[in-house]
Amino acid sequence: MQALVLSKDRANRALLTALGSAVTLALIFTIFDSGINFGSIPAALISGFAGIGAAGVRLLGNLPTATALLTRTGGWPLVFSAAAFLVSLLTLYLTCLRAPRLQPFLGDLLLVHYTPDGHLHLCPEIAIFNSGAKAGALIKISGTISHVSGGTQSQLHWIAFEELTYAARPGERNLPYSTFAGHPQSLVLGKSEAVSKRIGMISDRKFRLLPGTHRLEITLHTGPRGGNRVRLKRKLEISRDEERWAYDNRGEETTNTVQNLGLYHHPGQRCFTRYGAPPD
């Protein structure tokens, strides 16, 4: 069997094509990994990038000529040096220079109860992962809750960290009980670090949930002085009996442990609801 032998020009052309493909993939990865909001980019800037892309396509059409020129002039070492420099810059950006990127997630259990004076108190679990190369900080958490039909809305304020605890007496159901675990404070996450906390949020006024579907929006203020914002949006469904139970079992001022109504995230309905909850 005869061995497959490539001419010097074809070998150089194949090598240059592979190198260009690697650099292109690296640039594409960097663009999509940077989390750029393309909707906020001016149209003129997009047109400029399109022109640069068209010029790149025309250059690719002249690839055989460029390969032959590099072969005759011995310019391959310069090409490899430039490619290595680009890869080094990309590595420096991904490992040292990339800004913090805090990615939040909501847990599957949402705790709901009322304060003794009738304010709504929500306890979602929030997990945050920093995929950036620099340390990031969660400065503040705020939110809103409103009925889908409109008319009822309240602002939510972050007032505490909460934790689950077993507080049922013998023979009682193991319902979700929560207790105070700490005052609000900034959370600092280093490179590739993650943290999970259950937070307590209270309505700015006396507020009762109406039977039906509500919109829940939680805003996380990150970055220097909380300038950056990340929003989490979910829905929750509650029946009249469930809401009445939560209001009748609202906390007392003399106790630290509170019994909650547990709403579980249902993947099919994409909302927090008692439907599909674990059996009692």
Report the alpha-carbon distance of residue 267 to residue 271 in Å, rounded: 7
Catalogue the long-range contacts made by 93-99 (C-beta closer than 8 Å, 24 or more residues apart).
93/30, 93/133, 94/30, 94/33, 94/133, 95/133, 96/133, 97/133, 97/134, 98/34, 98/132, 98/133, 98/134, 99/132, 99/133, 99/134
* pLDDT higher at 34 or 228: 228
Mean pLDDT of 104-114: 92
Say how many C-beta atoms besides its own lie within 10 A of residue 195's C-beta: 14
Mean pLDDT of 196-203: 94
- The fold of 102-273 is Immunoglobulin-like (2.60.40)
pLDDT grade for 124, boundaries at 50, 70 and 90: very high
DSSP structural state of residue 151: S
From residue 205, alpha-carbon distances to 65, 90, 115, 157, 278 in Å are: 73, 50, 11, 11, 32
User: What does the pLDDT read at residue 43?
Assistant: 56
User: What does the pLDDT read at residue 1?
Assistant: 43
User: What does the pLDDT read at residue 2?
Assistant: 46
Angle, alpha carbons 250-254-260 (nearest 5°) = 30
On whether the CB atoms of residues 218 and 199 are closer than 8 A, the answer is no
Mean pLDDT of 246-270: 83
The single residue listed with the structure tokens 């039977």 is 211
Domain boundaries, the chain: 8-97, 102-273
Mean pLDDT of 178-198: 90
pLDDT tens readout for residues 67-91: 666 666 666 666 677 777 777 777 7
The single residue listed with the structure tokens 């001016």 is 42
The single residue listed with the structure tokens 């990615």 is 103
Report the alpha-carbon distance of residue 222 to residue 139 in Å, rounded: 6
Give the range with max mean pLDDT: 38-42, 148-152, 168-172.
148-152
What is the DSSP pairing of strand 125-130 with strand 153-165? unpaired
